[in-house]
A and B are shown apart, each in its own frame.
Chain A
Amino acid sequence: MRIAVGPVQFRIGSDWAEPVAALARLYAGYSQDDVRPADATVRLFAARPWRRWLRPSVHIGGDFVVPDALPLPLSMGLLAAEMGMNLQVALGWRRHMLLHASAVAKDGRALIMSGESGSGKSTLAALLGESDWRLMGDEFTLIDPTGGEAFAFPRAVSLKNEAIAEVAARVDPARLGPLLAATPKGDIRHLIPRADAIAAMHEPARPALLLFPRFGGEVAVEPMGEGEAFVRLTEASTNYVALGEAGFAALTRLVRETPAFGISYPDSAAGLALVEQLWAEAAL
């Protein structure tokens, strides 16, 4: 099976039909080109041949393998496929600088949000993507080393725990995948991005605002200097070191040309209001 997410063409294979069928449903609206060679391969394979029948579990394989990747039960095949796709991109992609960050765009300009797991960057991006923003991605944002533009990676959004009900209340149930309960990352449910976001996934956007969200605590906004933004984004980039000087140049340019803020917010409504306010006041 082939899936194109942004500039990345995945080839996905599995020893079981179930995860592939689930992926086919989530990515049905994405254009598919079976002739184009794959950039990354994800393979879900049985740990041992007999396990396929006896105690099904899937292991993640592909061009890169992380030795301590968790063996997941078969019911989590979809999550395994998602982790595999992330892994192949995080470790193998060289054409862009890869930031572990969500992004949304408006009028050809991008808002990039970088933060740890639990910072709410994914939920904020998903919710903004249901309003008048274009969802570019909930997990990775690609920066072109030459021109500095942001490129989208709009995989199916991975909603976690409380975010599931929050987003489910606003969208057509047909855009939601099956509930994956009690995975190692908690409850997960995938959201298919809006059709217009999928259709526009190859359109670049000029970075206009960098936010470093933190979920919890009072509403707070802290302007961030170029140096601190640089340090944080080197940590958020999975291929900064591999890109060498091209990565260095792309990152110095990004932090110089894009205003950056750390934000804290107690709930999604406050977070969204803060984002819209900063976009109106500070985005370049």
Chain B
Amino acid sequence: MTDRTYRAAPPGALRIEPLGELTAIFDRRSMQTHLVVSPMPEILGAMGTDACSAARLASRLAAAFDLCGDDDVQAILAERLGELAAMGLVERA
């Protein structure tokens, strides 16, 4: 499977509010509220402003978190990125 690249939402588009175990995200463009759990907020936080692949995201997150099993992490992140794109919170680069 090719490692697709994604781009974060433009600055100011999302309002992200951690609420204990859940994180509520208000998308100012769609006016929709999304409720997500870890690792979605961490992924959004690590996206940066440039186009980002699952592999690049894995290495960024590895610097901040204790991740193990490289292949697994990348596959899981690719899947989560796809889900975030489906919610409109990131977009395909």
Contacts and interface: CB of A to CB of B under 8 A. Distances in A.
A231 B22 CA distance: 10
B86 interface: no
Contact of B15 (A228, A248, A255): A248
Contacts of B33: 234, 240, 248
Kindly name the residue among A225, A248, A252 whose own CB sees the greatest number of chain B CB atoms within 10 A: A248
A249 B24 CA distance: 10
Contact of B26 (A228, A248, A256): A248
B69 interface: no
B interface SS class: strand
A252 B25 CA distance: 10
Interface residues of B, number: 13
Contacts of B15: 245, 248-249
A255 B19 CA distance: 8
A184 interface: no
A231 B24 CA distance: 9
Closest 9 CB pairs of A and B: A227-B22, A226-B19, A225-B20, A248-B26, A226-B20, A227-B19, A252-B17, A227-B20, A244-B31
A256 B19 contact: yes
Given A231-B35, A234-B33, A225 B26 contact: no
Contacts of B23: 227
B19 A225 contact: yes
Given A227-B21, A240-B33, A245-B15, 19 more contacts: A225-B19, A225-B22, A226-B19, A226-B20, A227-B19, A227-B22, A228-B22, A230-B22, A230-B35, A231-B22, A231-B35, A234-B33, A241-B31, A244-B31, A245-B26, A245-B28, A248-B24, A249-B15, A252-B17
B8 to A, nearest CB: 19
Contacts of B20: 225-227
Contact of A230 (B24, B28, B31): B24
Interface string B17-60: 10111111010100101010000000000000000000000000
Interface in A82-138: none
Contacts of A244: 31
A266 B24 CA distance: 34
B28 to A, nearest CB: 6
Interface in A149-184: none
15 contacts: A225-B19, A225-B20, A225-B21, A225-B22, A226-B20, A227-B21, A227-B24, A227-B35, A228-B22, A230-B19, A234-B33, A248-B17, A248-B24, A248-B26, A252-B17
Kindly name the residue among B23, B24, B28 whose own CB sees the greatest number of chain A CB atoms within 10 A: B24
B31 A226 contact: no
Contact of B24 (A225, A241, A252): A252
Nearest to A241: B31
Nearest to A231: B35
Contacts of A225: 19-22
Contacts of B26: 245, 248
Contacts of B28: 245
A252 B31 contact: no
Contacts of B19: 225-227, 230, 252, 255-256
Interface string A236-261: 00001100110011001001100000
